[in-house]
Structure formats: structure tokens, C-alpha cells
Amino acid sequence: MPPAIRIEELTKDYAVGFWRKRPYRALDRLSLEIEPGEVFGFLGPNGAGKTTTLKLLMQLIFPSSGRAEILGRPVGDVPTKHRIGYLPENPSFYEYLTAEELLTYFAELFGYPAAERRRRVGVMLDRVGLGAERRLQIRKYSKGMVQRVGIAQALLNDPDVIFLDEPMSGLDPLGRRDIRTLILELRDQGRTIFFSSHILADAEALCSRVGVVVRGRLAASGSLNDMLAFDVRGWELVVSDLDPQTLVRVRPAARRVTEISPGRYALELSLDHPPERVLADLVSTGARLVSLNPVRETLEEFFVRRVAEMGTGARAPHAQEASRAGG
């Protein structure tokens, strides 16, 4: 079975400036493979190239070089679009239509007969929580409601591969929870989901694998576990009934000490101080162990570190290459 999404050396250059003489590389030789059934989080700061990638995959823009396939077919293949769903970033629709009319229009483009159109439109609007507002013109919707319409239209055709560009954007906490649940449901149904986000908590909650794109380049890619698990930076030891004298004695071994409540402390130990030795010392003075956990780099810290490592020069050399290539 081919990968659900295959991206090979995908590159997008723009000519910017008044005379369009200045090249700008929005995406730099991106290669990725996403297997069927995966939830893939495409992460990166604003302007990193996430939306560019999604637009390339939807053939809203054309690559300067490289190629991409969805379900084994080149991007832009019209029959394959029957099996694809796409939520654009900050979606916008025909404001004079109601949500029901919009979805009916899109269902017509998919070629569903009238009864099937009515069924799908009804099911999808209920699913995204817009059943009661279905006959309201979209111009009267809030941003979050428009986002929900966007999600409904992306799932209207029961797609195998779903592309979501910042799906949580504009949603309140309840809305975000609903969409997370929806994505997990889709994952359980075996759909492939490729979603871009700069909200790392979403990726941590949903993704089996992530790619981090920074300044147009893929900075890292892999499962969250692989990416973060081996980088244990220390230990967090939580104890109770700790007397002040013992705390003073073990204080030099701890990077940080936080009093949670009277007598209950969280001690962050560096790797130089084995937790078993400190723990034995504490227990011998009457302290009780509450928990002991390894301190790993969070996705956020990983993300910030990679962005810093990529520096400001990541785009410039390639821009120069593009300039030379362009004559």
C-alpha cells in the first residue's frame, strides 16, 4: 500500500519586492511520508511554511521543484479529491449562503444524489454543533462557527485523508475540546490526518508523529516519544513530611525546590545526582515518597530549541541559490 501522503524534495520559491527581483524560499526541499491511519502534526512557528505546504498539497500553489502524492496519485488529481478533505487556515465562505446551502453546494460538486446530500449535510452540521443554526447566513456566524462550517465541509465526503490547517484557530476551549474529540474519532476510524498547528498541546494530545518546520525547512520529524524520550534532563522527586533541616542538607543536590504545601516539596534533581541516593537520604529522616518522574524536554522546549538552532540564516542561503538558479 502506498503512503497516504508522500512529499519529495518539495520546494516553493516566490519572487518578492516591487520588481519581483528578490527571491524568497517559502519551503525548502521538504520530504515526508505519512502512512495510512496516522495523525501527523505539522508544527512550526508562524510563517514557517506550514500553510505553504498544505497549499502545495491542495495544488492551490505550484511547486518550484519536487513533487507530492496523495493516496498514490499526484496532487491535483481530480478523482482523488473525492477521498480528500481540506480545511483551509482561517476559512472563509460565501457569506450570502447559509451553512446548509454551502454544504449542499459542495455535496453537489461531489455528485451525491439529493437524498444523500440531505443526509450528509444534516449529519455533518449536527456533528460540528451547528444543527440549530443551519439556516442562518454565514455572514451572521462568529469566527468559531465559521471554523466549524470549515470542518464540516472538510469531512462532508467521508474522506480517507484529511488536511486541517490550524483546525483549532478561532475556537473557544469547548470548541477545541470538540475538535480534539472529533480528530480522535477520525483516527479511530482509520483516517489519515495531516494537521498543521503552532499550538503544541494539540500535537501532544493528538499526534502519533510530528514534523517540525522552521523557516521553510524540516527541522525534525518522528514520533513524539522518539523525539523527546531520550532526552531525560533530570528527575522530579516529590516528597512529604520533609523536615526543614533535611531540606537544607539536600538543597545543593536540587536544581530547584518548590514547596507545594507545608512539608510537601517538589525537588528537581540534575542528572549528576542519582535520585535513589537522595531518596534514601530523605526517607531515612522520615520523609515519604509521593512520586519520582524523569524530567524530559517538553515539545515546547524542543520546538523553541530547534527554532533557535535553525537561526535566522536558514532561509537566506537558499534564497541566494534560488536567485542564482533564476539567473
Partner 1 sequence: MRAVSRIAASVFRESVRDRVPYNLVLFAILLISSSLLLGQLTAGQDVKIIKDLGLAATSLFGLFIAIFIGIGLVSKEVDRRSIYALLAKPISRTQFIAGKYAGLVLTLAVNLGVMTLALYVVLGFMTWGTSPELQSAWDAPGLDPALMKAVFLTFVQLMLVTAIALFFSTFSSPLLSAALTLGFYVVGQFNADLRNFDTVVDSPTAARLARGIYHVVPDLSAFDVKLQVVHGLPVPAGYLAATTAYGLLYITAILLVATFIFSRRDFK
List, in sequence order, the alpha helices (H) in the chain: 50-57, 99-109, 114-127, 143-155, 173-188, 200-206, 224-229, 244-250, 275-284, 299-310, 316-325
According to CB under 8 A, which residues from 228 to 257 bind partner 1?
Answer: none
∠ at Cα 120 (114, 123), nearest 5°? 140
Q: Which of 205, 97, 76 is nearest to 149 (CA)?
A: 97
136 contributes a contact to partner 1 by CB under 8 A: no
Q: Which of 154, 5, 158 is nearest to 86 (CA)?
A: 154
Mask: binding to partner 1, 140-169, rule CB under 8 A, as x and -? ----------x--xx---------------
Query: How many residues bind to partner 1 according to rule CB under 8 A?
Result: 32
Q: Which is nearer to partner 1, 153 or 197 (CB)?
A: 153
Extract the C-alpha cell encoding 168.
Answer: 483549532
Cell numbers at 251, concatenated: 538543597
Measured from the CB atom, the residue of 139 and 277 that comes closer to partner 1 is 139
Q: How far apart are CA 189 and CA 124, in angstroms?
A: 16
Which 5-34 residues touch partner 1, going by CB under 8 A? Answer: 14
Q: Is 106 in the site for partner 1 (CB under 8 A)?
A: yes
- Provide the phi-psi class of 190: left if phi over 0, else alpha when psi is between -120 and 50, else beta: left
Specify the residue, 84 or 253, whose C-beta has the smaller distance to partner 1: 84
60, 136, 182, 257: which one binds partner 1 (CB under 8 A): 60
Q: What is the 3-state secondary structure (H, E, C) of 129-186?
A: CCHHHCCCEHHHCCHHHHHHHHHHHHHCCCCCEEEEECCCCCCCHHHHHHHHHHHHHH
Among 8, 105, 123, 285, binds partner 1 (CB under 8 A): 105
Q: Does 50 bind partner 1 (CB under 8 A)?
A: no
User: Of 195, 199, 217, which is closest to residue 208 (Cα–Cα)?
Assistant: 195
81 binds partner 1 (CB under 8 A): yes
Is residue 108 at the binding interface for partner 1, with CB under 8 A as the rule? Answer: yes
CB 210 to partner 1: min, Å? 23
Exactly one of 40, 93, 141, 194 binds partner 1 (CB under 8 A); that residue is 93
Q: Nearest distance from residue 94's CB to partner 1, in Å?
A: 6
Give the interface with partner 1 as residue ranges (CB under 8 A). 14, 55, 58-62, 78-79, 81-82, 84-88, 90-96, 105-106, 108-111, 150, 153-154
